[in-house]
């Protein structure tokens, strides 16, 4: 019996070995062609798949097992190779990113970044190489392409985002100045056309804001193209050909995702961006400003006397900046920049000195065409620094083409070297720029207060779209524009907090503020840098109530669209008892209410049609009667 048993055992072992040899490679091959990346079990999960037959890549995102982004194509095409198909997998490399950084402005100053990163390497049959880098954090997923040198110019991407057709969508029609209004659709019913890449969707996996980060002159800005009837949103570049010189890392295609509070509070696009390149940042000081354009227009910009009067008002209010807009160097007092003695003929040094004596810094408007060459920048920027100007508002770039992005790359280190704060208008949107260049205080890229066609619904959508990705120069406070803005006075006051901007430019006239002393005194209290941000209540297009903390005080800003209502807002700013002071619309103008509430209680506010409120909350103690200082 012994010999047959040994023979049987040997035969069994041989059969098992053969089975393992034939099945093991199949299991390994299947695993190699599907990869998952996530920061934790509760965080969004990216799944990257390589189709064996076509060699094409796709990426999908889920959260808690629910759909965020359906499988969507990934790929890039250069003049040397089509890197969207016929790919074969080479290898995978993982790493963890854990870092801290501090900003000068934004939703919170101290940031902690924790991400898991996977780098997947592929090659075509001809040997062309593509690395796909995917990052995942608690509030987002992002990917970028990395190409070796000699890959050739980029001719386009096949990248797209596929949403469930019935997903709710809030989209802004694409404009070069990024000033389109956000309108609600579903993913499939949005009209055929081009949309801003800051598109918000709601699926069963929560809310997702599409975005971009680390955009520089090495590449081209992106927009989304859509065909009605589908849930597909394809990436289209501003340039038909992106010039490359050496290795290339494209911008991040980012998906900020989670519940609405998570998306609103997210700093994901900043977290993806490179660290600060500004060196010493001690001179960078965010603040509120009296902006004179809507208050006085071009005539005020051409008048030294008018500007001194605005400086006087800013000093009286304790506002740290006054912004002089267009007109001050266009034949002002019979001089312009074509005059060889223009630097000595200007009254700007006199205004700067006048303002400095009163504790007010001057910010000046400049057209981009006057700074578009190295020679012009060498003439302007040192002169402004010598005069003592604190910052520049640069206007009318109106492009996200590679050539314009290279101009940004040039002027950013130059303005930092000359200690000039920057406010970009007619511009791209932040896309991580404020982490890399913290002297960039704010950017327009929004249908702001100047627009006469804004709706209350648009105003309630901005905290969940444009303002998620960085500071937004909406210029609130234009109380004098009654009939030209869609909201109430209390809502207008609330915008100063609902919208974050490192330079919060108040757009009203001194007379309009003095006619509304409650709003004026509230603006005196509002800072422009925040230690924390929380969403108290919100639904895009309907309501947005944000709380932002500065030190031991929380500032509240609420905006609503639609009929009058009794709003009840949860006071989720921490335990204990709070003194809450709100500014609301009354029958004869603005009114103020004070109440003591516990953390978690609800603030009841009577909101007028398309109204809102502003407020301050501070820890209550016996005898405390106001949070104002």
Q: Which residues are catalytic?
A: 395, 450
Look at residues 36, 46, 54 and name the one whose alpha carbon lies nearest to residue 92.
Answer: 36
Helix, strand, coil percent values for the chain (each to nearest 5):
25, 40, 40
Q: What whole-number distance in Å separates Cα of residue 398 and Cα of residue 367?
A: 11
Angle, CA of 349, 323 and 525, to the nearest 5°: 125
The HSE-up count of residue 336 (CA atoms within 13 Å, CB side) is 6
Largest distance between two CA atoms of the chain: 118
User: Which token pair is 114?
Assistant: 């924790």
Q: What whole-number distance in Å separates Cα of residue 26 and Cα of residue 157?
A: 32
Q: What whole-number distance in Å separates Cα of residue 474 and Cα of residue 504?
A: 8
Dihedral (Cα; 257, 260, 262, 266), 10-degree rounding? 70
Identify whether the C-beta of residue 212 lies closer than 8 Å to the C-beta of residue 251.
yes
- 578-593: buried (b, 16+ CB within 10 Å) or exposed (e) per residue? bbbbbbbbeeeebeeb
Identify whether the C-beta of residue 191 lies closer than 8 Å to the C-beta of residue 184.
no
Burial of 15 (0-12, 13-18, 19+ CB in 10 A): exposed
In Å, how far from its chain's centre is CA 427?
Answer: 13
Task: Give, to the nearest 10 degrees, the angle between helix 304-317 and helix 348-357.
Answer: 20
Q: What whole-number distance in Å separates Cα of residue 128 and Cα of residue 148?
A: 9
Q: What whole-number distance in Å separates Cα of residue 273 and Cα of residue 39?
A: 18
Looking up tokens 């907090």, which residue turns up? 497
Strands ordered across the beta sheet of 543-550: 532-539, 543-550, 553-560, 612-619, 577-586, 589-598
76-78 and 612-619 beta bridge pairing: unpaired
C-alpha distances in angstroms, 447 versus 168, 298, 438, 452, 527? 22, 21, 24, 9, 23
Handedness of CA 524, 525, 526, 528 (dihedral sign): positive
Looking up tokens 């072992």, which residue turns up? 13
User: Which token pair is 85?
Assistant: 């198909």
Partners of residue 505 on adjacent β-strands: 289
């Amino acid at each position: 019996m012994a010999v047959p048993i040994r023979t049987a055992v040997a035969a069994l072992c041989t059969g098992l070995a053969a089975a393992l040899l034939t099945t093991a490679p199949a299991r390994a091959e299947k695993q190699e062609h599907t990869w998952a990346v996530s920061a934790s079990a509760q965080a969004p999960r990216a799944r990257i798949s390589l189709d064996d037959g076509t060699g094409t890549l796709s990426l999908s995102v889920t959260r808690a097992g629910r759909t965020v982004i359906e499988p969507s194509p990934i790929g890039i095409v250069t003049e040397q190779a089509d890197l969207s198909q016929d790919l074969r997998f080479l290898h995978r490399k993982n790493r963890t990113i854990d870092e801290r950084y501090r900003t000068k402005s934004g939703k919170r100053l101290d940031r902690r970044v924790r991400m898991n990163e996977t780098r997947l390497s592929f090659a075509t049959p001809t040997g062309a190489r593509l690395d796909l880098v995917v990052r995942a954090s608690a509030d987002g997923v992002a990917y970028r392409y990395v190409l070796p040198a000699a890959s050739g110019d980029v001719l386009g991407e096949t990248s797209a985002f596929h949403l469930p057709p019935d997903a709710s969508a809030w989209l802004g029609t694409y404009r070069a100045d990024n000033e389109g209004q956000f309108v609600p659709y579903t993913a499939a019913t949005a009209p055929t056309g081009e949309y801003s890449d800051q598109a918000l969707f709601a699926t069963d996996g929560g809310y997702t804001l599409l975005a971009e980060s680390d955009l520089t002159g090495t590449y081209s800005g992106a927009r989304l193209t859509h065909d009605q009837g589908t849930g597909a949103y394809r990436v289209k570049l501003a340039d038909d050909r992106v010039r490359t010189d050496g290795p290339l890392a494209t911008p991040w295609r980012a998906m900020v995702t989670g519940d609405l509070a998570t998306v609103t509070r997210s700093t994901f696009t900043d977290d993806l961006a490179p660290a600060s390149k500004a060196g010493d940042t001690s001179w960078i000081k965010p603040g509120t400003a009296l902006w004179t354009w809507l208050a006085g227009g071009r005539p005020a910009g051409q008048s030294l006397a008018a500007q001194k009067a605005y400086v006087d008002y800013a000093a009286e209010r304790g506002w740290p900046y006054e912004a002089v807009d267009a007109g001050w160097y266009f034949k002002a007092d019979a001089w312009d920049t074509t005059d060889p003695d223009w630097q000595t003929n200007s009254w700007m040094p006199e205004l700067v000195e006048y303002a400095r004596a009163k504790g007010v810094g001057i910010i000046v408007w400049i057209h981009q065409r006057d700074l578009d060459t190295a020679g012009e920048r060498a003439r302007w920027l040192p002169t402004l620094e010598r005069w003592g100007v604190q910052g520049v508002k640069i206007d009318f770039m109106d492009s996200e083409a590679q050539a314009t992005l290279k101009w940004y790359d040039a002027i950013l280190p130059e303005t930092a070297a000359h200690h000039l704060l920057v406010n970009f208008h007619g511009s791209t949107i932040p896309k991580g720029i404020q982490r890399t260049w913290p002297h960039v205080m704010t950017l327009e890229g929004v249908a702001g207060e100047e627009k006469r066609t804004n709706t209350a619904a648009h105003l309630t959508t901005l905290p969940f779209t444009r303002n998620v990705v960085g500071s937004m120069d909406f210029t609130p406070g234009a109380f004098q524009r009654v009939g030209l803005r869609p909201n109430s006075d209390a809502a207008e006051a609330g915008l100063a907090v609902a919208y974050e901007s490192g330079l919060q430019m108040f757009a009203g006239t001194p007379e309009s503020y003095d006619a509304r002393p409650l709003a004026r005194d509230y603006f005196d209290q509002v800072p422009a840098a925040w230690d924390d941000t929380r969403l108290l209540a919100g639904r895009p297009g309907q309501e947005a109530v944000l709380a932002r903390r500065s030190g031991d005080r929380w500032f509240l800003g609420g905006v609503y669209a639609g009929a009058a209502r009794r709003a009840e807002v949860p006071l989720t700013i921490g335990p204990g008892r709070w003194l809450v002071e709100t500014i609301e619309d009354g029958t004869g103008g603005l009114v103020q209410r004070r109440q003591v509430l516990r953390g978690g209680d609800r603030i009841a506010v009577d909101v007028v049609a398309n109204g809102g409120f502003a407020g301050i909350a501070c820890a209550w103690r016996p005898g405390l009667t106001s949070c104002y200082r």
